[in-house]
Amino acid sequence: MKDRIALLGQPNSGKSTVYNALTGSRQHVGNWPGKTVEKNDGFYTYKGKRYTVTDLPGSYGLSGNSDEEIITADFIKTGQADLVCILVDASQLERSMYMVAEFAAMSKPAILLLNMMDVARSQKKEIDHVLLAERLGIPVLPFTAAESSGYEALKELLARELESPHSLRSVPKLPKEAGSAAETVHAESEAKYLWVRDMLAGVTGDRQAHFELSRRDRRLLSPVLGKFLCFGTIVVGFLAAMIICLPLMGAGSMIPQLLNKPIFNLLTSWNVHPWLVSIFSIILPNTLYFCVAMSGFVFGVNLVFGYLEEIGFLARAAYQFDSLLSGLGLQGKAICPILMGFGCTIGGTCGTRVMDNWGQRMLTMAVVWAVPCASIWTIIPVISSMFFTPLQTMLVIVGILLYVVVLMTVVSKVFGRTLVPENARSGMIMELPPYHKPHWKHIAKEALLKAWDIFRRALRTVTLISLLFWVFSYSGSGNVADSLLYKVGTAIEPVTRIFGLGWRTFMGFLSSAFAKQAVLGVLNVVFVGDGTVLDATFRSAFSVATDNAVLGNAMTEAVSKAEALAFMCACTFNIPCVMALSTTYRESHSLKWTVRIAAFYVCGALVLSCIVYHIAALVL
């Protein structure tokens, strides 16, 4: 039975939109064997029959310029698809038909989707799709991927073509080898464009004679003003994402508040062991809260940045920041996740979905981790002001910001070599798509899908790590000294001293890997002896504010200035938080790389803390 469909198209052809609309949540993400390229498989049922869909990696051609192109070409050549659905941008038909010319040599069954018909129509471009179908010998369907109305016809066509497939009638006449490899490639491309021109003769009207940038683009693409506008838009977009997710996060924070007491009372009345009581009344409701908060964030970010991507803004931002970021081995598009990282690492991490390929994406995630999130800016000034004057605190903050740049460079050097190998680094050659009217329904649907996906998957990871932390911080008596954390912490204190961390600040350091906002609470527990580490860590979101004056007194008595400085550095550049860790794993689908990067950050933070401590001890 023939039921395997593959989607083929250039970047911005709307391929993933069609893929998501066809398969919904029935998707599987993996990696192509031996390659760091994401493999997307899904299925749908139509009239009782099941069809599998493979979303082939987006590329401009099939000539083997990248892993993406090699995989795609192999997949089609070896007949792993029964039908190839080629997507082209109807508003830029001549250029995007090049993909059809590349595909032609493989003589496999295909249909052609003229996507973005809405844009083509708004540009008053007429396309005679009947004539085109006649010339090509395969069905041609005018389509708008972001509108749900066309999918019934698409599914019907796919089913029919799988039964009685058609292959291209006409193929480009390729010239014989013309000297060097470069010359051959060039002669072949020219032949392909000539073929495209023949196919389109009389199909499309005359080409627009003169192009003018729109007023919006004149501003957005100017070298100085444009950078400010892009920067501002991303910041506003991030704030909008926050506003969207706040109600969800608020609702999430109600979960532990509502569940904690009743579960505690119920289980205690059943004489359940206090261990289990604390797991069920504290850990699980909070895990649920973390996951709701996370998926709320993912929803907000995907909604706003899905919108910015669809209208073509992200391509403009990429153009503006490409020169700056190419020094880090990153694409210009990485500017969005990096700036979002200042708000929240989770947001930045899932913002990396705009990157073109997996390697770029993973590298961007690693770089985003170096950006201190908003929570850090709520703890560093507090701790710093306990030890330093306001002016010195300013210097601490400037120092941290400078180190961010250093760390980003180091991270991109360390991981970039493998993730984005030198020979795969090519400068930006990309199209800036025309302004598209946003399809809100479609954007919201994709954002919801993404949020639900993260929620489902993160629940496991976060529960696991929470339980791990719980094992370490649980103390039956409520006294810190009875917890495993204390025992381990004091036992290895001679070692942590090298890094400038006593057992108490080391506990603070460990908690900063769990959640940055937990740091003050945990410090309060270990220095003032107020409350339990468990409460401080898991209930930091709504626990009574710690009395910073009391904590300050207790800390300054026990900790030197050099140690404080080392501690702040260690916390800031540690793993961002357990939720960021989990999001990175979920978004990258690579445990290996997530662990690698996490280990790098923990070690990096300790080394930095060590250096800062020993230098500061000499000076201060």
Partner 1 sequence: MKLTDMRPEQEGRVRKLEGDAHFISRITSIGITEGTEFQTIRNDRKMPVLVYLRETLIAVNRPDAERIEVEAV
> In the bound complex, what is the minimum distance in angstroms from residue 79's beta carbon to partner 1?
24
Of 9 and 348, the one with the shorter C-beta distance to partner 1 is 9
Rounded Cα distance between 147 and 158, Å, is 18
- To partner 1, the closest distance from the beta carbon of 125 in angstroms equals 8
| Least distance to partner 1, CB of residue 260, Å | 54
User: The tokens of 528 are what?
Assistant: 């003032």
C-beta of residue 97 within 8 angstroms of C-beta of residue 87? no
What gap in Å lies between CA 248 and CA 242, rounded to an integer?
A: 10
In 93-180, which ranges are continuous DSSP H helix? 93-96, 98-104, 117-122, 129-136, 151-163
At its nearest, how many Å lie between partner 1 and the CB of residue 18? 21
C-alpha to C-alpha distance for 4 and 404, rounded to whole angstroms? 47
Structure tokens at 77: 């050549």
Q: Which is nearer to partner 1, 332 or 372 (CB)?
A: 332
Quote the least distance from Cβ 21 to partner 1, whole Å.
Answer: 25
Q: Which is nearer to partner 1, 313 or 319 (CB)?
A: 319
Q: Give 310 or 446: the residue with its C-beta nearer to partner 1.
A: 310
- State the minimum distance, in angstroms, from the CB of residue 317 to partner 1: 12
Closest to partner 1 by CB, 269 or 426 = 426
Tokens 């020169």 label which residue?
A: 323
Query: b/e string for 427-457 if b means 16 or more Cβ within 10 A?
Result: eeebeebbbbeebeebbebbbbbbbebbbeb
Find residue 9's DSSP bridge partners. Answer: 87
- Residue 492: closest CA among 482, 505, 479, 480: 505
C-alpha 64/C-alpha 154 separation (Å) is 30
CB of 95 to partner 1, least distance (A): 4
Nearer to partner 1 (CB atom), residue 9 or residue 372: 9
Shortest Å, Cβ 115 to partner 1: 15
Indicate the residue among 128 and 453 with the shorter CB distance to partner 1: 128
- Measured from the CB of residue 325, what is the shortest distance to partner 1 in angstroms? 12
Which one, 125 or 589, has the nearer CB to partner 1?
A: 125
Contacts 24+ apart (CB under 8 A), 341-345: 341/368, 341/369, 341/370, 341/371, 341/373, 342/371, 342/372, 342/373, 342/374, 343/238, 343/242, 343/373, 343/374, 344/297, 344/373, 344/374, 344/375, 345/369, 345/371, 345/373, 345/576, 345/577, 345/580, 345/583
Q: Which of 36, 136, 50, 124 is nearest to 86 (CA)?
A: 136
**Which residues are at the interface with partner 1 (CB under 8 A)?**
59-61, 63-65, 91-95, 98, 102, 180-182, 184-186, 189-190, 193, 207-208, 210-211, 213, 221-223, 319-320, 322-323, 326, 426-434
Q: Which lies closer to partner 1 via its Cβ, residue 91 or residue 281?
A: 91
